[in-house]
Chains A and B, each alone.
Chain A
Amino acid sequence: MIGDLLLSIFNADFLYSVIRITAPILFAALGAVIAEKAGVVNIGLEGIMMISALFGVLFGYWTQSWLIGVIGAVVIGVLLALLIGFFAFEMKTDIILGGIAVNMLGAGGTIFLLDMFTGMKGNTGSLVTRELLIPTVDIPLIQSIPFLGQVLSGHAVLTYLAFLLVWLMWVVIYKTPLGLNIRAVGENPNAATSIGVSVQKIQYIAIGLSGALAGLGGAFMSMYYSQGWNSGMVAGRGFIALAATAMGRGEPVGTMLSSLLFGLAQALRTKVSGMQGVSSYLVSVIPYLVTIIGLVLYAISTKNKLKKRHTVTKGAE
């Protein structure tokens, strides 16, 4: 009985949807990774995703090109992140408050902007046509492998980009001079300054990149995932991304794994809520609950490690 249930859940379609659902979280989570490496907390990811998602649709509609839509979303993401950076670094606004401000813009400001630009209320309705969606690609060879092909092939271009970026992010952080500087700034800004690294410049670069990534996540949401923008669309994914990063220890690969875990939880929620006798509300709790449990497990494991090493680190701050 339970075996049948599991089989009906864990089929190729389901695994395909896990990957699809993970992608936007992964984008934002990678954004959190790069910011955190430079010692910057970007809690505005949620708002950036919302606003980028809106402008992705608008730019796409105005130019009738999905690609320009995505690029527009990324540009907006970078600008918003730099805005947070400007207020945090130059004006000394607490960076968490700067992030909350952008989240507010994301929640209500987007509805206002949509109304201002198009006169539409709360969602973009029919602005997104089939041609304006981010296209999907079939991967040659892999697509003909049974099961695996069904799971891995036929995703949106941006889905593949998300997973590619995990590798790219690792390369940038660990194999390039920029990555070295970012890590130096994040671990010890004073030491970085003493060898002539401009802390502020590096932090601007890092938060700008995090904005670009959140922008991609937003574009994915509105231009592929939900096929249009609506006011409840991002639904805490920016926050889940922060949790995924914390759980993935701020490392690209670890963050990808925890993002997949949340993707799985979210996919499970979609799957189970369709079943009879299951409260869709309680199922909706799963991703958020998994996040909290994940954070707890992560915290416990860090704590144990620290005990073993008998060292004091930043984590205790």
Chain B
Amino acid sequence: MSDKNLFLFNILRGLAAILLALAVAAVFIFISSDEPLTALKYLLLGPVVSFKSTGNVFNTTSFLTILAAMIPTIFSGLAVCVMFSANQFNLGGEGAIMLGGFVGALLGIYLKMNTGLHQVVCVLGGALAGGLIMLIPAILKVKLGASEMVTSLMMNYVVMFVILHFLNFVFADRSKGATQTFPFQETAKIPEIIANGTKLTWGFVVALIFVVIIALFMYRTKWGYAIRMIGINQSFAQYSGMQVGTVIILSQVIGGMLSGMGGSIEVLGRFGTFLWRELPGYGWLGITIAILAKNNPIFVPFAAFFIAYLNKGCNLMATYSDVPSEMIDIIQAAIFLFFAAEQFLAKYRQRIVVHNTQRDLAVQEAAASQGGSNS
């Protein structure tokens, strides 16, 4: 009974945190905008409703583009779930995604293969690159005790500038005005599930499959158990004979592979050539998503949907009203602070616990006094 109450409480608490974050956003909108209601309408409903003079209708295309936007963030969210579960604050997802995208793009341009196999090779190449780059902060952490957080942050910039160098001086398509690579071969492009321009590619299906794989890995395998145990209590894990170092490296390499995979799937599905000229930002979104999902892979798609929905809402709001789309960062920051706050609404949890205990005690006392009067 009490467990059920607490479970319900945790869900309500999460919703309250999200509502509070949206309330913060609303306050900012009311302060900054001349047309706050229009802005709010587009932020909250715009992503799935098209407003027409004849009435409001469900906007299927827009809904599908939201699903499409989830593809890279599901991967980066899963990556962060795995790494944060092991208590590894590796923030290198950004770099790994960009690198994975770049390597996947190069393989898609210069390899000659049959379609079907070609995509798989490109994505695996991207995953491999992401995994390899994450070896750096992971090994430095385990062998030398260097903070994975700082090294991975620095690594992001190194990766970005090295890619920009190769993009500009080695692989650039000089016939184009903008700096970009040559176009991908048709055999490498990841096709849409239904060809309707929403960019909802088969990558979405792959992403959902990986949600299941990672959930099974984390909760049904020895390695997943080790990762979670190290996150909960590293000393305990060490004393119970786990190979802590190996598992810490493993968690970050898996994180890197997922990131690299997400990057290559996004690049090959969304664009016809490699266009990223800065870090894509999916790595940071992945952190927000992992926090919303409480590091549980199963919740990642829902969190990714929520963030993609908000993102779309912010963009629409910026288009149709005077509120800039960067509002998304303020909402995210507020979600971060409240959602991750263990003490947020803790009083009520305390009250539930106290209430349950008192009830149990009352039952016991009643039983005891009954026993006393009988004797």
Contact = CB atoms under 8 A, between A and B. Distances in A.
Interface of A: 43, 83, 87, 90-94, 96-98, 100-102, 104-105, 107-109, 111-112, 115-116, 121, 236, 239-240, 242-243, 246, 279, 281-282, 284-285, 288-289, 291-292, 295-296, 298-300, 302-303, 315-317
A91 B327 contact: no
B337 A101 contact: yes
Given A242-B150, A243-B154, 4 more contacts: A104-B329, A104-B336, A284-B161, A289-B154
Scoring B136, B144, B146 by chain A CB atoms within 10 A of each residue's CB, the highest score goes to B146
B149 A96 contact: yes
A236 B153 CA distance: 9
B333 interface: yes
B154 A97 contact: no
A108 B326 contact: yes
B330 A296 contact: no
Interface in B194-241: 234
A93 B150 contact: no
B82 to A, nearest CB: 17
A268 to B, nearest CB: 14
A102 B333 contact: yes
27 contacts: A83-B337, A87-B341, A93-B340, A98-B336, A98-B340, A100-B284, A100-B336, A101-B333, A101-B336, A104-B333, A104-B336, A105-B329, A107-B329, A112-B28, A112-B324, A121-B324, A239-B153, A239-B154, A240-B154, A243-B154, A246-B146, A246-B147, A281-B169, A285-B162, A295-B154, A299-B144, A303-B144
Contact of B157 (A96, A288, A296, A303): A288
B164 A281 contact: yes
Contacts of B327: 108, 112
B96 to A, nearest CB: 15
Contact of A91 (B164, B332, B341): B341
Contact of B337 (A93, A121, A299): A93
Contacts of A102: 333
A102 B146 CA distance: 24
B362 interface: no
Contacts of B324: 111-112, 115, 121
Interface in B137-167: 140, 144-147, 149-151, 153-155, 157-158, 161-162, 164-165
A279 B167 CA distance: 12
Scoring B28, B144, B334, B337 by chain A CB atoms within 10 A of each residue's CB, the highest score goes to B337
B165 to A, nearest CB: 4
B342 A288 contact: no
B343 interface: yes
A87 B337 contact: yes
A315 B145 CA distance: 7
B57 interface: no
Given A97-B291, A109-B326, A282-B162, A243 B336 contact: no
A261 to B, nearest CB: 14
